[in-house]
Chains A and B, each alone.
Chain A
């Protein structure tokens, strides 16, 4: 039973990281209507930017480095969208052109990361934490902080979408871009801001993934991408709350299953859940009717 509670604890940590990543992907998908296959590599870049601030050059505290690395990734995402994605999206009406471009960018970024930092496993410079026992869970203080950050991000995104003018514009655009444009919403500005948020969240997710796992590798983001896809599809593509719920379901399922089956297959559990969802509820558990 101890093992079970331990894995529930890890499940919370994985779900926290996953939720940040899934919300970032979902926000952007809702607005621009194509999937960013380079998202996993955005995560990797964010993690390595953080690594530069934290261990390689500046030796800042890992959490300050995380914030700087994420924001840098956000700015980079805006630039990438401006130079690449938005141009292809405007030129070709079929979304698979843009999807192939994101797929190609994913390969480019991955190899840039390999060229600069090499294939070796890196780790952040942070003090070794003692394990804290809370109820039945055993977690490090860093892992608790990761969970706290995730909760803050989730609440922040939800409040932003519900109450602010920006959030309302984003929801309007994700429902119907043309209608939003004719209602006087500056869709280009909203798209830019969305890319900034999506990029920042991807960077943050990459960095906290590195912190909670204890290491960073160039391909970690790509492997994680498919777990994000699982969370997003299980929750319902384009739905932010669905993405949060999907993240909790997938995060818990993968970690708890690792207590019972060979942990090497824990990613495949996410895939099984994905397939089951597609068979019985192909639009996801929390999908909205599209008008």
Chain B
């Protein structure tokens, strides 16, 4: 089974993705991650204004199979969280790179993105 790994994103080995748009970064979990988790039933996210540190956990994704921490690919201040996930956690399964996004950050250090996995490297990891 092959999974969708969009070319324009960077990845964390714990299966989060990040999309950069100038000094803003959008964060979510990968297609592979949502498939491994199975049906997501609950998502816990930080508040706007919270400071995240790269590599540390910022929230929880719960499926019928497992409860998993999610990790910040980069450091920064939370500028938006996806409130739609509260009522519709299934968005994470249906559209992990679109409507199932988790949060937006104001990047603290753009260079942190360079340390993340490229789409090819991430594809190799989940192969």
B is a partner of A: no
Interface residues of A (CB under 8 A from B): none
Interface residues of B (CB under 8 A from A): none
